[in-house]
C-alpha cells in the first residue's frame, strides 16, 4: 500500500473525537494567524504590513523575493528618498518604489513622484491615465525593514499554482493526522 492508502487508513482508524480535535486544532491555527495579521494592521497603520518584492525594479536596494515590513502612520510626512509601497487605480498589485520628488503645498497637501532604482524613467507611465503625481491616499506603507529572499515561497506559489495546492494538501494532512504525544 502506498502513502495515500496509509493516509486514508489513518483517517479511518481515528475516532470521531480525535478527528474533531484535529479539525478544531487546524481552525485554531488559521484563526490565530488571522488575528496576528489584523493586529499587525492596527499596530503599523498599514492595510498590508508585510509585502513581497515581485520585480527587480528596486535592485540593488531590494531584490525579487525580499519580504518588506511596512508602516503607514498618517501624521508622518513622506520625504524624498523614502521607499514607499503604493497602489494605483486599475492595478491589483502594489508597487514598491522610491520617492524622487515632492511638491508640498502651504495647506499641508503633499504630492510626490516615484521611480524604481533600477528603472530608467519615473513612474508616470505606471500611474492611472492623466495622473502625474501620487498622493498620501495612494500609499499602502513605507518600508521600515526587510528579510532577504524570504518571500520567494510566495513567488513560487504564484508562478506554479499546482505547487501551492500540493503544499496546502501536505500541510492540511499533517495537521489532521498529527498525533498528540
Instruction: Out of 46, 57, 66, 138, pick the active-site residue.
Output: 57
Mean pLDDT across 7-36? 81
66 as an active site residue: the answer is: no
The C-alpha cell of 108 is what? 499641508
Using 50, 70 and 90 to split pLDDT, how confident is the model at 163?
confident
Please say if 159 is a catalytic residue.
no
- Phi/psi for 57 (5° steps) reads -70, -15
Q: Is the pLDDT of residue 168 over 70?
A: yes
**Is 181 considered catalytic here?**
no
pTM over 0.85: no
Average pLDDT, integer, range 127-143: 93
Query: Residue 118, Cβ neighbours under 10 Å: how many?
Result: 15
Question: How, if at all, do strands 139-147 and 134-135 pair?
Answer: unpaired
Instruction: Spot the catalytic one: 66, 103, 117, 123.
Output: 123
Cβ-proximal residues to 141 (8 Å cutoff; 6+ apart), any chain: 44, 45, 46, 47, 48, 49, 51, 70, 71, 72, 84, 85
| From 32, 76, 92, 97, active-site residue | 97
Amino acid at each position: 500500500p502506498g502513502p495515500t492508502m496509509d493516509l486514508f487508513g489513518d483517517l479511518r482508524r481515528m475516532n470521531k473525537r480525535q478527528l474533531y480535535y484535529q479539525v478544531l486544532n487546524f481552525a485554531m491555527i488559521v484563526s490565530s494567524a488571522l488575528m496576528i495579521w489584523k493586529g499587525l494592521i492596527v499596530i503599523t497603520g498599514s492595510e498590508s504590513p508585510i509585502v513581497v518584492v515581485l520585480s527587480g525594479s528596486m535592485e540593488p536596494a531590494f531584490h525579487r523575493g525580499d519580504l518588506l515590513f511596512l508602516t503607514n502612520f498618517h501624521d508622518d510626512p513622506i520625504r524624498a528618498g523614502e521607499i514607499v509601497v503604493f497602489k494605483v487605480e486599475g492595478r491589483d498589485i502594489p508597487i514598491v518604489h522610491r520617492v524622487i520628488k515632492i511638491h508640498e503645498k502651504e495647506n499641508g497637501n503633499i504630492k510626490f513622484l516615484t521611480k524604481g532604482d533600477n528603472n530608467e524613467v519615473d513612474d508616470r507611465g505606471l500611474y492611472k491615465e492623466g495622473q502625474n503625481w501620487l498622493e498620501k491616499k495612494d500609499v499602502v506603507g513605507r518600508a521600515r525593514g526587510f528579510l532577504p529572499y524570504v518571500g520567494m515561497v510566495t513567488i513560487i506559489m504564484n508562478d506554479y499554482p499546482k505547487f501551492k495546492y500540493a503544499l496546502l494538501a501536505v500541510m492540511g494532512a499533517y495537521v489532521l493526522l498529527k498525533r498528540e504525544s
